[in-house]
Every structure is written in C-alpha cells, then in structure tokens.
Amino acid sequence: MTVQSCVKGEAKASRWAEFLAGAKATLPLIVGAIPFGIIFGTLAEPSGLSALGALAMSLIVFAGSSQFIALGLMAAGAAVPVIIATTFVVNLRHLLYAANLVPKVRHLPQRWRMLMAFGLTDETFAAVSSRYLGNSDLSHAHWFYLGSMIAMYSNWVLCTALGVGLGELFPDMTQWGLDFAMSVTFIGMVVPYLRNTPMWAAVIVSGTMAMATVGLPHKLGLIVAALCGIATGLSLHMLKQRKTATLEVTL
Amino acid sequence: MNEVVLILGMFLVTFSVRYVLFAMAGRVRFPPWLSTGLGFVPPVVLTAIIVPAVLIPQGELWLSWRNPWLLAGLFAALVALVRKDLLTTIVAGMLCFMVLRFGLGF
C-alpha cells in the first residue's frame, strides 16, 4: 500500500468515527425529542393538517417548535401568511446559533454549508457546540455535525410518522402530559452552562422576562426575554473584565 | 394546495434564517463582544421556553407546590446540578413528573 492510499484510508476512517460520534452525542437529545415527534404527529389531524402534510412538514421544514406553533395557529384558524411570519420570528434564534458556528464552517464548500444549515436544530447545535469546544483536531468535525443532524432528522421523521399512526389508533393520547418531556430536556441542557455569575444572571433575567412578556402575540416575548438576558450577561461579563484589567494596572 | 403553500413558506423562512450567515461565512467577522453575547444565546432562549412551560402548564399561572410541572422541573434541575448527565436528568425528571401527576394525582 502506498503512503497516499494509507493516508486516504485513515481520513475515511476518522470521518466515519466522527459521524458515529456525532450521532452518539445526539442520542440523549433525541430521547427528549421522541415524545415531541410523536405528539406532533398525533396532534396534526385534530389541528387541521393532513397526515401527508404533517409528514411533509417534518421532512421539509424540520423545525420542532415552529411546527408545533404552526399546528396551534392552524387550530385557531390563522391565515397561512401569519403562520409563516410566526415561523420566521420563532426561528430567529437559529440566526444566533449560525453566527456562533460561522468560524467553524467558513472553510467548507457551499454545498456542505447548505446541508448543515438545513440541519441546524437546537439539539444539533447543542451537540456540536460541545464538540467544537474541545481542543482536539477539528479537521473532520463537519462529519460529526452530519452524524448529529442525520440522527436527529431520521428520528424526527420516524416519530412524526409514528404519531400520525398512533393518533388514528388512540385519539385521547394528547392528555398524557408528555409535553413535560420538552421542558425536562431543556433543563438538562441549560444547567451545564451555569458556571459563572454572568450566566446565572442572564438565565434568571431571561426566565423572569419570559413570564412578564408571556402575553405578547406570536411568541415575541421569547425574543424580548432572550435579548434582556443576553444584555444582562454581557454587561456583567464586561464589568468583570474591566475589574481584572484595573487590578492589573494597579499591580 | 393551502398546505403546499404553508409548508414551502415555512421551509423558505426557516432555511433562510439558518443559511444566510453560513452562506456569507467568508465576509462576516464578529467583534469579541458579539461573540461573547452569542455565547449566552442557547441557555437564555431555552430558559425563556422552560419557565412559562412549567409555571403556566395549562394556560393559567400555577405557582404552587401542587404543580407537578414546577416540582418535577425543580427536581430535574437539582439532578442536573449533581449528576451533569442529560439522559439521567431526562429519565429522573420524567419519572418524578409521572409519579406526581398520575401516581399521586397532583
């Protein structure tokens, strides 16, 4: 075997290893998403979205929370442009996720970035963020991303299909309280971030503001609360930095 | 027909938001304060979803120790602080919720 083919073989193996690691790192998050996919599928027909429409939405849109909100709006009889505008607002947070990932994807070809953008969900963002935080070799980290998003995507589509089927079998399944699965997953995702005062303050302000703005239309309160939280965290972070800087000057 | 328009429209806005910064990747540079600020985004957005979900689980503010969403949520946060493992947190939180709601009838 030549040196070149040996190197190629190694690259292939490490891509596959990254892909599997990405899928594996996303597994705990997928467990939290399973009830969602199923509930989404179950709720579709009662809300006025056909079985085929529910499946197509999961295949094409692939955005859990906005899909749920779309169902709620459909049930309330909202017009199509209102639902699309709400989806835009609710998904604005992905712009912030993307901004966070730009330094890690800017060297990749456009078709890779397109594929990765399609799969930029909360769960994949959380999984790849911890991958990119590590100091290890990042040259094949986009395969880790791909593994994460494909695991997430297949699970989402499969669970939607399952939910559509179950919804026809058990029409009263939405009463089981499975909505708590989302909250508990998100709690497990937030807690590891709470390592310093600015982060605690940001989260407390965001939670409080979310309650204060809960009456705002179109889930706009979410954006307001997030911005207040970020402003608080950022101010405290900068104050802290200034303090250390002054200390250094005095010393 | 209406569903086709709805799904295509939702796809367009969702994909554009996710793709626009990746597409211009070469030309965007963020100042350090912006990158720091963006680091706060995931926990802050998730918290803004969680808090109303556990305090207003059924359309009305429910600030009481008999609210299983709130109790199980606090329990899950405690488990997450101690164990730092997502799957353990999810399983423990869901079990706590099921016991409170369907076992004890909270």
CA distance B54 to chain A (A): 7
**Chain B 8-47, CB below 8 Å of chain A: which residues?**
8-15, 17-23, 25-26, 28, 30, 33-47
Structural contact between residues A43 and A178, judged by C-beta atoms closer than 8 angstroms: no
Instruction: Please give the pLDDT value at position A43.
Output: 80
Tokens of A45: 């027909």
* Average pLDDT score, chain A: 85
Q: Check if the beta carbon of residue A121 is closer than 8 Å to that of residue A63.
A: yes
Least confident of A18-32, A162-176, A207-221, B92-106: A162-176
Q: Does B82 touch chain A (CB under 8 A)?
A: no
What's the DSSP call for residue A175? G
DSSP letter for A218, please: G
Return the closest-CA partner of residue A185 out of A101, A119, A126, A100: A126
What residues of A are in contact with residue B3 (Cβ under 8 Å)?
49-50, 53, 56
Check residue B31 and give its pLDDT.
76
The one-letter amino acid at A191: V
Token pair recorded at residue B14: 């969702």
> How high is the pLDDT of residue B30?
63
Q: Is the CB of residue A235 less than 8 Å away from at least one CB of chain B? A: no
Residue spans of the domains in chain B: they are: 2-103
* Chain A (14-43) residues lying within 8 Å, Cβ to Cβ, of chain B: 27-29, 31-32
**Which residue of chain B comes nearest to A27, CA vs CA?**
B87
Is A218's pLDDT higher than 70?
A: no
Interface test mutation site (partner B, options A95, A122, A124, A180, max chain B beta carbons within 10 A): A180
Among residues B58, B79, B70, B67, the alpha carbon closest in space to that of B104 is found at B67
* Rounded percentage of chain B residues whose pLDDT exceeds 90: 49
Question: Cβ of A183 and B73 within 8 Å?
Answer: yes
Of A62, A180, A221, which has the smallest distance from its Cβ to B69's Cβ?
A: A180
Lowest mean pLDDT among A31-45, A73-87, B12-26: A73-87
Structure confidence by residue, pLDDT tens digits, B52-64: 889 988 888 999 9
Question: In this predicted structure, what is the pLDDT of residue A71?
Answer: 82
Q: What contacts A246, CB < 8 A, 6 or more positions away?
A: none
Greater model confidence, A170 or A157:
A157
Cα A152 from Cα A161, distance rounded (Å): 14
Q: What is the ipTM of this complex?
A: 0.83
Q: State the pLDDT at residue B53.
A: 85
Neighbours of A9 (CB within 10 A): 11
Euclidean distance between CA atoms A209 and B51, whole angstroms: 10
Asked if A92 reaches chain B (Cβ–Cβ under 8 Å), the answer is: yes
- Give B-chain residues touching A83 at CB under 8 angstroms: 6, 9-10
Closest residue on chain B to A199 (Cα): B40
Taking each helix axis from N to C end, the angle separating A51-60 and A3-47, rounded to the nearest 10 degrees, works out to 150
Size of interface A-B (CB pairs under 8 A): 256
Token look-up 């070799």 returns: A137
Q: Would you say A83 and B8 are in contact if contact means Cβ atoms under 8 Å apart?
A: no
Say which residues have a Cβ less than 8 Å from residue A28's Cβ, sequence separation at least 6: A188, B86, B87, B90
Element housing A19 (H / E): helix A3-47
Q: Hey, what's the torsion of the CAs at A9, A15, A16, A18, to 10 degrees?
A: 140
pTM of the model: 0.67
Read off the amino acid at residue B46. L
Residue A160 has pLDDT above 90, yes or no: yes
| Per-residue pLDDT reduced to its tens digit, A74-126 | 876 778 887 888 788 778 778 878 888 888 898 899 999 999 999 999 899 98
The per-residue pLDDT for B23 is 92
Give the pLDDT confidence of B39-86 residue by residue, as tens digits.
787 788 889 888 988 998 888 899 998 999 999 999 999 999 998 787
Q: What pLDDT is recorded for position B106?
A: 74
Nearest CB to A181; choose among B21, B47, B94? B94
Short-list A125, A138, A157, CA closest to A54: A157
The residue among B38 and A67 whose pLDDT is bigger is A67
Asked which of A7-11, A29-33, A136-140, B42-46 is least confident by mean pLDDT, the reply is A7-11
Work out the mean pLDDT of chain B and round it to a whole number.
87
Q: Minimal CA–CA distance to A142: which of A113, A182, A184?
A: A113
Contact B21/A125 with Cβ under 8 angstroms?
A: no
* Residue of chain B minimizing CA distance to A111: B23
First vs last C-alpha separation in chain A: 61
Q: Where does the pLDDT of residue A16 fall: very low under 50, low under 70, confident under 90, or very high at 90 and above?
A: very high
pLDDT band at A219 (very low <50, low <70, confident <90, very high): low
